[in-house]
């Protein structure tokens, strides 16, 4: 493309994408699909990299997404971001009211608002346009997270109505509980698929929506932030000139400018009304779609606020009443042990049903043997349960005064409750494992679940519960058995599913339509490419990327099964640990047998010829380093080298045979390669190397 045409196209794409962004983020009404949007964005990125001189300073590639903000810039707050005094007690709340009353007399009002459990943000608008968004930081200066805040749909980029020319609005950024559950589930799934052990997964998941929200807001890549579904409520306006005479009025005004103001606020004339609001919201709290941790009480009239003023740290005209974490006392009926799909054991307290935070709790996590030891649990103890940020409640303590004199200490099990294999505990780890991964039922079910999951064989109609049902009904043991299922076996099959939180067992059955769907899904899965089949086998440490590399390097399952450890471990970014897992997996006779069955069922165990992945040994023994950008992705280029017998190395050294130099290669690398007299070749020259001599 010539330079004039490129300039035109860049302008056209930038304008179009801005319009779509506006429709998406501000009007909440996307005008094209995400996919179409991403395609246009990619085209723009490509053009901008070729013709950087025409890129807009506020190009859509920079504003949403892109790796622009490596570190956040610190910005001083024009008005310090103070915190609030807080209390958990009604008496202290009444003391606060008395102090206020001494200054304000009796005829005034409070505004009671929800105290959102998120992170504070201060957003500056100039002439109705979002200028800057800064986190609370240390109260005097915070992180400039404007690019990220702009991805939050409920925060307007452009205001409507009659707003002051320059002002700051403060509020709270948070994540809805449902979004949190969904994203955390996805994260869990992808960690499992990457081969992360179950006991390590808990540490890597977010503990509550607040953490997830704050982690998201501090991400460097705004396109990622946009996927986190963050939301915001605004609750305070700061402007140099007066915009309203009371807080409630400013909230109403802020709504007319386009801000999302939570409508659960009330004007109260005295502490009795305040207290009634606090209690009402405490009851309604479980029904909200987001977490709150209390109620904020603010004097409504601005002139009174001013008169009351501030202490060094906090306003005298506002206070936060915080709800205590609810706990309940109940009887421990027994401790049971769950076996996870990787064999990790979790002890669970089975409780006399008790009501807590709006739900009935029957089970609570005891985490591991150390935690049980810490609690020193005895039979029929009375225990305190709490709902933390986690979905499953936890046991926090024992009411010792209620312990029976003859109660026996509960000791941790030594054998797997499902298959009776003696448990193991690795050095330095807290979790016990059942090592019987090829016969222990929950572990077999886990492998089946992984096999049918969306990113593996993606079999329609077969979710985790159905798979577990098929296993328990004795219809499938390994994933090869799935391909022998018949309509008669599936149709009407009844199975049970267990609700983790409440421990309720629900009965379910497979309907005619689902049965047909499952069979169709299984038939369709026979076309799933080899690399995904390889991933679906559930070899430890073989996630999607490794599966892809192995598939491309070896081309077929037969070649991979014949491969020795060195030829796997020698691959770029594979290494010995993964190679060991692969070798172990294929040495197991049962695994080989299962694969043979899958082969006869017609699954793809070779790379498709259409992918044109020819292989050769033409680069045998040669070491390559690739740097810069090429006509194909760097990963594809590396795969091409490996398929032809070459080796990829990560750094320049004397033993390097070729450096393939792409566009935008770093100058230091070039210099070092020159100094060491390495062969520096272009992509074209490299491709010429691949042509077999006649």
Contacts of 672 (CB under 8 A, 6+ apart): 652
By beta-carbon proximity to ligand IVH, the closer residue of 115 and 387 is 115
The answer to whether residue 143 forms part of the interface with ligand IVH (CB under 6 A) is: no
Which of residues 51 and 238 has its CB atom nearest to ligand IVH in the complex?
A: 238
Contacts of 454 (CB under 8 A, 6+ apart): none
Residue (54 or 116) nearer to ligand IVH, CB = 116
320 binds ligand IVH (CB under 6 A): yes
Is 115 a catalytic site residue? yes
From 195-203, 219-227, 314-322, 434-442, span contacting ligand IVH (CB under 6 A): 314-322
- Sign of the dihedral defined by the CA atoms of residues 408, 411, 414, 420, in that order: positive
3-state secondary structure 254-290: HHHHCCCCCCCCEEECCHHHHHHHHHHHHHHHHHCCC
CA 149 to chain centre: 18
Contact indicator for 597, 522 with CB cutoff of 8 Å: no
Stretch of residues binding ligand IVH (CB under 6 A), selected from 110-118, 242-250, 411-419, 483-491: 110-118
Rounded to whole angstroms, the Cα distance separating 479 from 537 reads 8
Which alpha helices (DSSP H) does 127-217 contain, by range?
Answer: 146-149, 177-193, 198-204, 209-217
Contact mark string toward ligand IVH, 214..253, x via CB under 6 A: ---------------------xx-----------------
320 versus 574: smaller Cβ distance to ligand IVH: 320
* Residue closer to ligand IVH (CB basis): 48 or 168: 168
Q: Residue 233 Cβ, how far from ligand IVH at the closest point, in Å?
A: 7
Q: How far is the CB of 577 from ligand IVH (least distance, A)?
A: 44
Distance CA 336, CA 347 (A): 6
CB of residue 598 vs ligand IVH: minimum separation in angstroms? 55
Q: Mark the segment that binds ligand IVH (CB under 6 A) among 13-21, 109-117, 124-132, 160-168.
A: 109-117
531 and 456 Cβ atoms separated by less than 8 Å: no
Which part of the chain contacts ligand IVH (CB under 6 A), choosing from 107-115, 482-490, 541-549, 630-638?
Answer: 107-115
Tell me the C-alpha distance between 633 and 592, whole Å: 34
Contact range with ligand IVH by CB under 6 A, out of 81-89, 331-339, 443-451, 610-618 = 81-89
Q: What CA–CA distance (Å, rounded) separates 343 from 363? A: 20
Per-residue binding letters, 565-604, with ligand IVH (x by CB under 6 A): ----------------------------------------
| 120 binds ligand IVH, rule: CB under 6 A | yes
Number of residues that bind ligand IVH (CB under 6 A): 16
Side-chain-side CA neighbours of residue 349 (13 Å): 35
According to CB under 6 A, which one of 145, 183, 225, 296 is a site residue for ligand IVH? 296
CB of 364 to ligand IVH, least distance (A): 29
* Residue among 284 and 496 whose Cβ is closer to ligand IVH: 284
Q: How far apart are CA 544 and CA 522, in angstroms?
A: 20
Query: What's the sign of the alpha-carbon dihedral 489, 493, 499, 504?
Result: negative
Q: Does 116 bind ligand IVH (CB under 6 A)?
A: yes
Residue among 25 and 321 whose Cβ is closer to ligand IVH: 321
d(CA 399, CA 686): 73
Q: Which stretch binds ligand IVH (CB under 6 A): 114-122, 452-460, 569-577, 646-654?
A: 114-122
Among all residues, whose Cβ is closest to ligand IVH? Answer: 120
Cα separation, 124 vs 129, in Å, equals 8
Q: Which is nearer to ligand IVH, 211 or 336 (CB)?
A: 211
Q: How far apart are the first and last CA of the chain?
A: 37
Binding piece for ligand IVH, criterion CB under 6 A, among 90-98, 312-320, 327-335, 362-370? 312-320
**Interface pick for ligand IVH out of 83, 270, 411, 616 (rule CB under 6 A):** 83
Cβ 213 to ligand IVH shortest distance, Å: 12
Q: Does 318 bind ligand IVH (CB under 6 A)?
A: yes
Q: Spot the catalytic one: 18, 42, 70, 115.
A: 115
Q: Please identify which residue in 172, 193, 386, 531 interacts with ligand IVH, judged by CB under 6 A.
A: 172
Q: Are 335 and 363 in contact (CB under 8 A)?
A: no
Residue 628, token pair as written in the block: 């810069």
Cβ-based burial of 237 (10 A; exposed 0-12, middle 13-18, buried ≥19): buried
- CA 430/CA 678 separation, integer angstroms: 50
C-alpha 644/C-alpha 627 separation (Å) is 19
Nearer to ligand IVH, 120 or 225 (CB): 120
Tokens of 535: 């991933």
- Which DSSP string do the residues of 202-219 spell out, in sequence order? HHHS-SSHHHHHHHHHT-
The 10 Å Cβ neighbour count of residue 323 is 16
Q: Which is nearer to ligand IVH, 110 or 686 (CB)?
A: 110
Confirm or reject binding of residue 115 to ligand IVH (CB under 6 A). Answer: yes
Report the C-alpha gap between 338 and 360 in whole angstroms: 21
In the complex, minimum distance from the CB of residue 284 to ligand IVH, in angstroms, rounded to a whole number:
16
| Bridge partners, residue 167, by sequence | 125, 239
Among 45, 97, 113, 381, binds ligand IVH (CB under 6 A): 113
Residue 114 or 254: which CB sits closer to ligand IVH? 114
Which strands make up the sheet holding 318-322, listed edge to edge?
86-87, 318-322, 292-299, 110-116, 266-268
Q: How far is the CB of 116 from ligand IVH (least distance, A)?
A: 4
At residue 631, the 3 state secondary structure works out as: coil
Q: Identify which range of 113-121, 379-387, 446-454, 545-553 contacts ligand IVH by CB under 6 A.
A: 113-121
- Min dist CB 315 to ligand IVH, Å, is 5
CA distance 91 to 485: 67
Q: Scanning residues 383 to 442, which ones bind ligand IVH (CB under 6 A)?
A: none
**The token pair that represents 446 in the structure block:** 């886990």
The 8-class DSSP code of residue 414 comes to S
Q: Shortest CA distance to 623 belongs to which of 668, 670, 673? A: 673
Cα 107 to chain centroid distance, Å, stands at 49
Q: Quick one: 213 or 598, whose CB is closer to ligand IVH?
A: 213
Q: Work out how close the CB of 134 gets to ligand IVH at its nearest, in angstroms, rounded to a whole number.
A: 13
Question: CB 249 → ligand IVH: shortest distance, Å?
Answer: 16
Helix (H) or strand (E) holding 554: helix 544-554
- The residues annotated as belonging to the active site are 115
- Give me the residues that bind ligand IVH (CB under 6 A), please: 82-84, 86, 113-116, 120, 172, 235-236, 296, 315, 318, 320
């Amino acid at each position: 493309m010539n330079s004039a045409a490129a300039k035109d196209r860049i302008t056209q794409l930038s304008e179009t994408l801005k319009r779509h962004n506006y429709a998406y983020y501000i009007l909440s009404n996307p005008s094209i699909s995400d996919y179409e949007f991403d395609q246009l964005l990619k085209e723009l990125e490509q053009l901008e990299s070729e013709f950087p001189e025409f890129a807009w300073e506020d190009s859509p590639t920079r504003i949403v997404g892109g790796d622009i903000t490596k570190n956040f810039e610190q910005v001083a707050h024009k008005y310090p971001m103070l915190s609030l005094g807080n209390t958990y007690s009604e008496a202290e709340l009444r003391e606060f009211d008395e102090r206020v009353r001494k200054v304000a007399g009796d005829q005034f009002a409070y505004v009671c608002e929800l105290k959102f459990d998120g992170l504070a943000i201060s957003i500056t608008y100039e002439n109705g346009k979002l200028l800057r968004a800064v986190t609370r930081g240390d109260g005097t200066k915070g992180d400039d997270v404007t690019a990220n805040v702009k991805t939050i749909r409920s925060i307007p980029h452009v205001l409507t109505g009659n707003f002051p020319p320059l002002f700051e609005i403060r509020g709270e950024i948070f994540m809805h509980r449902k979004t949190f559950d969904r994203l955390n589930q996805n994260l869990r799934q992808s960690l499992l698929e990457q081969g992360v052990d179950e006991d390590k997964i808990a540490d890597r998941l977010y503990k509550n929506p607040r953490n997830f929200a704050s982690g998201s807001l501090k991400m460097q890549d705004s396109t990622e932030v946009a996927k986190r579904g963050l939301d915001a409520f605004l609750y305070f306006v700061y402007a140099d000139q007066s915009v309203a005479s009371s807080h409630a009025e400013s909230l109403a005004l802020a709504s007319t400018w386009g801000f999302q103001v939570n409508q659960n606020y009330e004007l109260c004339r005295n502490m009795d009304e305040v207290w009634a609001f606090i209690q009402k919201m405490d009851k309604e709290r479980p029904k909200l779609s987001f977490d709150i941790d209390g109620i904020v009480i603010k004097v409504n009239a601005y002139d009174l606020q001013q008169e009351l003023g501030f202490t060094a740290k906090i306003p005298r005209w506002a206070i936060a009443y915080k709800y205590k974490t609810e706990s309940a006392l109940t009887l421990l009926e027994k401790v049971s042990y769950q076996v996870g799909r990787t064999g990790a054991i979790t002890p669970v307290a089975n409780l006399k049903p008790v009501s807590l935070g709006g739900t009935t709790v029957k089970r609570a996590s005891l985490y591991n043997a150390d935690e049980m030891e810490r609690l020193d649990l005895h039979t029929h103890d009375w225990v305190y349960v709490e709902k933390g940020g986690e979905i499953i409640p936890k046991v926090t303590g024992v009411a010792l005064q209620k312990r029976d004199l003859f109660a026996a200490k509960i000791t941790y099990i030594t054998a797997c409750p499902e298959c009776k294999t003696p448990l193991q505990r690795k050095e330095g780890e807290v979790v016990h494992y059942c090592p019987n991964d090829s016969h222990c039922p929950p572990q077999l079910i886990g492998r089946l679940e992984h096999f049918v999951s969306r990113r593996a064989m993606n079999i329609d109609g077969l979710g985790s519960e159905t798979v577990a049902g098929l296993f328990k009904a004795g219809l499938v043991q390994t994933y090869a058995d799935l391909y022998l299922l018949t309509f008669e076996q599936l149709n009407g099959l009844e199975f049970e599913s267990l609700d983790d939180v409440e421990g309720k067992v629900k009965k379910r059955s497979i309907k005619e339509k689902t049965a047909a769907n499952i069979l169709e899904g299984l038939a369709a899965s026979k076309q799933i490419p080899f690399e995904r089949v390889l991933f679906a086998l559930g070899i430890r440490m073989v996630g999607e990327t490794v599966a892809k590399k192995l598939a491309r390097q070896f081309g077929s399952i037969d070649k991979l099964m014949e491969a020795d450890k060195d030829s796997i471990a020698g691959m770029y970014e594979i290494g010995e640990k993964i190679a060991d897992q692969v070798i172990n997996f294929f040495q197991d006779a049962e695994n080989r047998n299962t694969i043979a069955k899958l082969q006869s069922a017609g699954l793809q165990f070779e790379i498709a010829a259409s992918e044109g992945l020819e292989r050769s040994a033409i680069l045998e023994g040669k070491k390559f380093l690739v740097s810069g950008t090429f006509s194909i992705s760097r990963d594809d280029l590396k795969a091409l080298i490996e398929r032809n017998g070459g080796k990829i190395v990560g750094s320049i050294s004397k033993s390097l045979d070729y450096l393939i130099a792409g566009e935008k290669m770093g100058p230091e690398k070039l210099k070092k390669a020159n100094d060491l007299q390495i062969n520096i070749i272009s992509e074209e020259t490299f491709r010429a190397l691949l042509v077999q001599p006649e």
